[in-house]
Structure 1
Amino acid sequence: MAKPISHINEPSLNEKEIQNQVLEKVIQDVTQNANGIQEAIKLLQELHESGILEAVNSLIEAKEKIAKIAVGQMLRPPVTNAINNGMAAAGILTELNPEMTKKMMEGLSKGLQKAEEGLQQNQKVGLFELIKLTKDPDVNRAMGFGINFLKGLGEGMKE
């Protein structure tokens, strides 16, 4: 009866054999991807000729300096104010009713069109014309909206 195998000897490769295997794998990969490699070489050559490759290399070499400059710029009060204002505006927009916002934007667009038409016609508005316009339902609606808006704005500023 044969003895059971208790130990398997794996062939050990020397450094030269490992390098040969790696080299064969690289050659195999190159032959399988020849078209892609050629396209990549063309791209790199174009980037080199246009100076973009040198700029990218310089950018990468100076990454720490660039990061310090970027962080320094981000910490400037105008930038932090802009970020804080943007966040506050985004917070307010989440509280607004989308339907009302849509109506406001449509009204604003129509209002700007009417204002431009008035400018084109060079219309002058006198006191009697102004009083007459208060009876116009569209003008009255806008005035009521404006007055209520101003009242709400004042209340908000009081808090």
Structure 2
Amino acid sequence: MANPIKMIKKVELTEEQKMSQSLESLLGEVAQNKDSLLETLHLLQELHNSGILEAAGSLVKAKEKVAKIAVGQMTREPVTNILNNTMAAGGALATLDPEMTKKLMGSVAKGLAKAEQGLQSNSKVGILDLIKVLNDPDINRAIGFGLNLLKGIGEGLKG
């Protein structure tokens, strides 16, 4: 029978051996990723040649000053107004029926195309023309929609 192990020897590497292993590991990684490393070096060279790398380095060095300026700009009233208006518009859009919005946007596009045609024809519209077009079902529908839209806006402005 074998003798039981009574003592375990811990092998400790010298600093030189540790560095040698690290270098071997690093060289293996470099060899495996040669193409991507070369591409990265070319990119860094281009960034250096264009001055972007230096600008980015300066930006990082001045990060506290840059952050202070950015926060100062973000808290200006016009910026906060934009953010508040965007959030309010987003909230309003969330309440709208997407199908109705899609239909309305399509109608607006079609209306703009018709308006462009009208501009191209350069025809004059008289009072009798306005009275006649009220019988057109498309125009009547659009006028009714507009009047109801205005009524809803007025009701919303009341409260």
| TM-score of the two chains, using structure 1 as the length reference | 0.90
Gap regions ≥5 residues in structure 1: none
Q: Structure 1 stretch 111-120 or stretch 84-93: which is displaced more?
A: 111-120
Structure 1 letter corresponding to 2:97 = N
State how far apart, in whole Å, the 1-side matches of 2:6 and 2:154 are. Answer: 90
RMSD, matched Cα: 1.7
- How far off its partner does 1:31 sit? 2.7
Deviations 1:76-114 (A, max 9, x none): 111111111111111111111111111111111111122
- How far off its partner does 1:7 sit? 4.0
What residue number does 2:84 align with? 84
State how far apart, in whole Å, the 1-side matches of 2:121 and 2:98 are. Answer: 35
What residue number does 1:117 align with? 117
Deviations 1:35-62 (A, max 9, x none): 3323322222222122221122112112
For residues 1-40 of structure 1, the aligned pairs below 5 Å read 3-40=3-40
Q: Secondary structure at the match of 2:13?
A: coil
Name the CA shift for 1:94/1:13 in 2 (closer, same or farther; >3 Å). same
Structure 1 letter corresponding to 2:23 = L
- How far off its partner does 1:6 sit? 4.6
For residues 49-64 of structure 1, the aligned pairs below 5 Å read 49-64=49-64
Percent of pairs identical after alignment? 58
Structure 1 letter corresponding to 2:154 = G
What residue number does 1:102 align with? 102
Q: Secondary structure at the match of 1:85?
A: helix
What residue number does 1:144 align with? 144
Gap regions ≥5 residues in structure 2: none
Q: Count residues with an aligned counterpart.
A: 159
Q: Secondary structure at the match of 1:53?
A: helix
State how far apart, in whole Å, the 2-side matches of 1:101 and 1:15 are. Answer: 70
Name the CA shift for 1:44/1:143 in 2 (closer, same or farther; >3 Å). same
- How far off its partner does 1:2 sit? 5.3
Structure 2 letter corresponding to 1:33 = N
Name the CA shift for 1:113/1:36 in 2 (closer, same or farther; >3 Å). closer
- How far off its partner does 1:33 sit? 2.7
- How far off its partner does 1:130 sit? 1.1
The reply to whether residue 48 of structure 1 matches residue 57 of structure 2 is no
Name the CA shift for 1:96/1:6 in 2 (closer, same or farther; >3 Å). farther
